[in-house]
Amino acid sequence: MFLHLLFPNRCIECSKIISAEELVCELCFRKINFTHHYFGRDNQLKQECKLLFPIENAFALMQFEKESLSRKIVHSLKYGKREKVGKILANWTKERISFEQELPDLITTVPLHPKKLRERGYNQLHLFADLLSTHFRIPRDHQLLRRNLYKKAQAKKSKSERVVTENLFSLNKEISGKHVLIIDDVFTTGNTMSSVAWEILKNSGNRVSILVIALDE
């Protein structure tokens, strides 16, 4: 309690003091550009994915514009050592996504390289995915995939630097006949997501859908 008085939680946009369970104040929340995607329908993200790999459904929570509040939110999750941001984002997602057409069989997250995991101290996607898994009663497996190469963070690269890397990911276990929901933070060129998707799709009968926190324009 004493620490909360000395270091109160503040809105990451305007610095207004807010509840410890919040990320932005009520006024700044209105600035967030939510996509209003429907998981079971066509949308911008699904169209972009179709150019790269066969996909069932896709959902992005926010748009990731330059100098936007959504960018601050994602960077706070990834680089601000604020793992609890994942809980807030999961709650926003639960309010906006519906699996009416078909519930995926499994949730998995795009893995960090072990070196990056040690540097960051946590995978920013795990708490987010765990809460969605519990809420929608979809099993999740954070160990399904491994990242084979250590790479500079995508969010800190220019678009021209983000190129496809073969064999970037591998499966730790064989799965077949599963509809897998792949979760990542930001979809930019789609190279990372495509690498993950094809690794899953190469096994017989697998299908993929994707969920990302933000869609970079």
Domain count, the chain: 1
pLDDT recorded at residue 70: 93
- For residue 162, pLDDT beyond 80: no
Query: Residue 59: inside a domain, yes or no?
Result: yes
Query: Residue 89: inside a domain, yes or no?
Result: yes
Using a 10 angstrom Cβ sphere, with 0-12 exposed, 13-18 middle and 19 or more buried, the burial of residue 22 is middle
pLDDT recorded at residue 133: 97
* Both structure tokens of 132: 């969605």
Query: Residue 205: inside a domain, yes or no?
Result: yes
pLDDT recorded at residue 165: 56
- For residue 108, pLDDT beyond 60: yes
- Alpha-carbon distance 95 to 97, whole Å? 6
- For residue 157, pLDDT beyond 60: no
85 phi, psi to nearest 5 deg? -60, -35
Query: Residue 185: inside a domain, yes or no?
Result: yes
To which residue do tokens 């697998």 refer? 206
Query: Residue 16: inside a domain, yes or no?
Result: no
Query: Residue 170: inside a domain, yes or no?
Result: yes
- Alpha-carbon distance 18 to 24, whole Å? 7
Q: Whole-prediction pTM value?
A: 0.88
Region 180-203 average pLDDT: 95
Domain boundaries, position 122: 32-215
Question: What confidence tens digit (pLDDT) does each residue in 90-102 have?
Answer: 999 999 999 887 8
- For residue 154, pLDDT beyond 90: no
* Both structure tokens of 13: 């946009």
- Return the minimum-mean-pLDDT range out of 36-40, 57-61, 122-126, 195-199: 122-126
Give the domain CATH number at 118. 3.40.50
